[in-house]
A and B are shown apart, each in its own frame.
Chain A
Amino acid sequence: MIFSLMFFDITYWMYLIVAVLYLGFWLSRNKWLGQAATVFTFIALFANFMFLVSRTVESGHAPFSNLYESMVFFTFALVAGYLFMEFKYKMKVVGAFVMPLAFLALVVTSLLPFRYQSVEPLNPALQSIWLEIHVFSTFLGYAGFALSFGLSIMYLLKSRKGASESGGGPIGIFPKSSVLDELAYKTIAWGFPFLTVGIITGGVWANYAWGTYWSWDPKETWSLITWFIYAAYLHARVTRGWRGKKAAYLSISGFIAMAFLYWGVAFVLPGLHAYA
């Protein structure tokens, strides 16, 4: 029996339940739904964690060696980051915009060809401590960006003309738009340095494996594209005329670039990173 596959299934269904609970909480404002959502998120996160542990035991290496494993690490970072935020800022509605994302991530993961699910030993290029630092850091970055994506969407909904700052309706329960904006920044301020460390350690690793730290292959280039967009976001936030909505659109574009960096490059474009 392969435990990691079992934990994958548990995590998958748990995230579906959690997503439904948070959405239910958002639309009904029922306090008990909100409590249940948080409790179930802890259970889901534990199952997610157990996947990572069992996978490590089964394969003998950190669970980052292909798209399947790294996606589950991504959802772990995303949900852990979310829970941290929920406790720190006491706001549950954000979960309605984050948990569906975590579930969706596992849906696409489960659609991967079966060979991804099997436990593989590392090929020579992947046997490096830099690989582990590289993937770990990059995926923490991705998690930050995904959180920011959810927050930016909420910000745009909230700051539409006519949307009330507080009070009734599904939008009314959102935090204030200035708070959403600040948190979207805060999550990018976490994601950006981690993505940067990811890019740099990727360079260090490539320099050991191939003798060049930068070769403009599609994966590298897309990481730079994503990085440029978030750099633009950071500067937009301190520029009059670029604050608020425009910055939020940049955050969303950054997330789309990141999704392409993650999936598009592996399946649409050719290149060295074809395995991960």
Chain B
Amino acid sequence: MGIFSKVVLKVWKFFTLLRVTIVLLISLALVSVLGTVVEQGKSAQEYISVYGEKVYYWLTVIGITDMYHTWWFTTLLSLLALNIIICTIDRFPSKWRSVSHQKTDVSLRFIDNLSNHGAIEGVKARPAEVKEKVINILKKNRYKYEVSDRGEEITVMAYKGKWARFGSDVAHVSLIIILLGSIFGGIWGFKDFQPIYVGETRAIPNTDFKIKVNKFWIDYYDSGQIKQFNSDLSVIENGKEMLRKTIYVNEPLYYKGVRFYQSSYGLAWGKVKKAQFVLVDKETKKQIGAPIFINWNEKIKVAGADDYEVKLVGFVSDFAFDEKNKVVYTNSSEHDNPAVRIELYKNGKLISKPWLFLNFPGLFPVMDDASKSDLILTNYQPIQYTGLQIGKDPGVNVVWFGSIFLGIGFILAFFMFYKRLWINIKSCSDTVDIHIGGMINKNRIIFEREFNALVDKFRDGLIE
């Protein structure tokens, strides 16, 4: 034998050991604990604020911040999978053989040595008659049987629940199917999150269609608690509406293998529907005229300061300024420090693009010095968005299939039992002795009682 096949054989032998399974399962259990103690997939800042930089460095080296995707965790899982596959393949043929070629013709000694055995002696009948009666009782108790008849000595082998022997194999194959399903999903699926404004139509990455959000609303219980979040969605493909559905939590929209889930909602942080301004006198701070409403991206004349026009071009819900890059951004999705940006035109010419703060009216003058009045932001109408979790997972049905199969395996393994009886019928001058032995693959305690009850049935049936 070559050195290579020797090594393969060694590895194979190693992975057939149930001891390896136990060690792997316990190791996986212990290691998994780590990933629940350290929160997974947070930002670097969050880890550093909890653990400090040094510890964080080591956490990332070992990979604990995203533990379940590290090479070593995946390796452990793969070893378990290999263990399951090899173990099942290795044991299957001999198990199959032992079930398909059941020992029928056993000796009397074999029967009497079984842990469940009994005897009925001195029955006044011929062996063939006894055999018929025995078989009738077996049938009534839903046993299948085989007979080996040698005239003076007859052995009946009865059994049921043969398939229970394969429960563990079905369970093991199912686990591999489930694992494969999750791998398919990882390779050919994708996940995405899109906050889409109400009224907006958004092209969905990785697909060739768009989603339009017609409406978003919240249902409440009478007590005021939230009952449900709903989004009325349309699927738009090639400019046509293909499907329209109202989704809510636990009820996604499904189109071409992609699912859309109601995941969150809120007020847009980068856009508003319209904003409200008032013109005030710079000296007296008194309001001049009626409030001015401007829609997003709309340019209108400022009533009361006719040389000027204003266009609404920007919004941040929580104003922040990056000194280094000189850019404005929003600190969060909360509306804590809302600010709008306008373009200011004088006699048709753009003269400035100032920010106006809702919480700090008049912080910076907007109009130029030539103007006696100034603009102040007094209100705005936010846009609602609905947060859609988007996912495609071609492996998920494989996972469900494996799960159902696993259920079948469990039913076979845990709730069905392989029971065997051997009944030796032997004539002894003009009477017949009957010896009964029984065996079960597990669940011995229950079987003991069942077996004794069965022996009593034989006794009642034979000695009438």
Contact = CB atoms under 8 A, between A and B. Distances in A.
Contacts of B414: 189-190, 192-193
Contact of B226 (A123, A193, A221): A123
Contacts of B191: 211-212
A269 B34 CA distance: 12
B263 A211 contact: yes
A225 interface: yes
A205 B261 CA distance: 12
Interface string A14-40: 000000000000000000000000000
A216 B35 contact: yes
A225 B35 CA distance: 11
Contacts of A229: 25-26, 29
Interface in A103-117: none
Interface in B328-370: none
A226 to B, nearest CB: 8
A125 B444 CA distance: 45
Given A124-B226, A182-B445, A193-B414, A211 B252 contact: yes
A185 B441 CA distance: 14
B35 A124 contact: no
A53 interface: no
Interface in B388-427: 389-391, 393, 396, 399-400, 403, 406-407, 410-411, 414
B214 to A, nearest CB: 20
Interface string A168-187: 00000000000100110110
Interface stretch (B15-23, B133-141, B297-305): B15-23
Contact of B390 (A125, A197, A204, A211): A211
Contacts, number: 117
A221 B28 CA distance: 11
Contact of A124 (B25, B40, B248): B248
B32 interface: yes
B391 A212 contact: yes
A62 interface: no
A270 B38 CA distance: 10
A127 B33 contact: no
Nearest to A236: B22
A232 B29 contact: yes
A69 to B, nearest CB: 17
A214 B191 CA distance: 13
Contacts of B443: 182, 186
A221 B25 contact: no
Contacts of A257: 29
A125 B25 contact: no
Q: Which one of A120, A236, A265, A270 has the highest number of Cβ atoms from chain B below 10 Å of its Cβ?
A: A236
B18 A239 contact: yes
B223 interface: yes
B250 A124 contact: yes
B410 A216 contact: no
B53 interface: no
Contacts of A54: none
B227 A241 contact: no
B98 interface: no
Nearest to B39: A270
A179 B263 CA distance: 51
A121 B28 contact: no
A125 B228 CA distance: 8
Interface string B225-243: 1111100000000000000
21 contacts: A121-B221, A123-B226, A124-B249, A185-B442, A204-B400, A207-B396, A208-B250, A210-B261, A211-B191, A211-B259, A211-B261, A211-B389, A211-B390, A225-B32, A225-B33, A228-B26, A229-B25, A235-B22, A239-B19, A242-B22, A269-B37
Given A208-B252, A213-B396, A257-B29, 4 more contacts: A121-B227, A182-B443, A203-B403, A212-B391
Interface of A: 89, 120-121, 123-125, 127-128, 179, 182-183, 185-186, 189-190, 192-193, 196-197, 200, 203-205, 207-214, 216, 218, 221-222, 224-225, 228-229, 231-232, 235-236, 238-239, 241-242, 257, 265, 269-270
The 8 A-B residue pairs with the shortest CB-CB distance, nearest first, are A124-B249, A232-B25, A228-B29, A193-B410, A218-B36, A211-B391, A211-B261, A211-B389
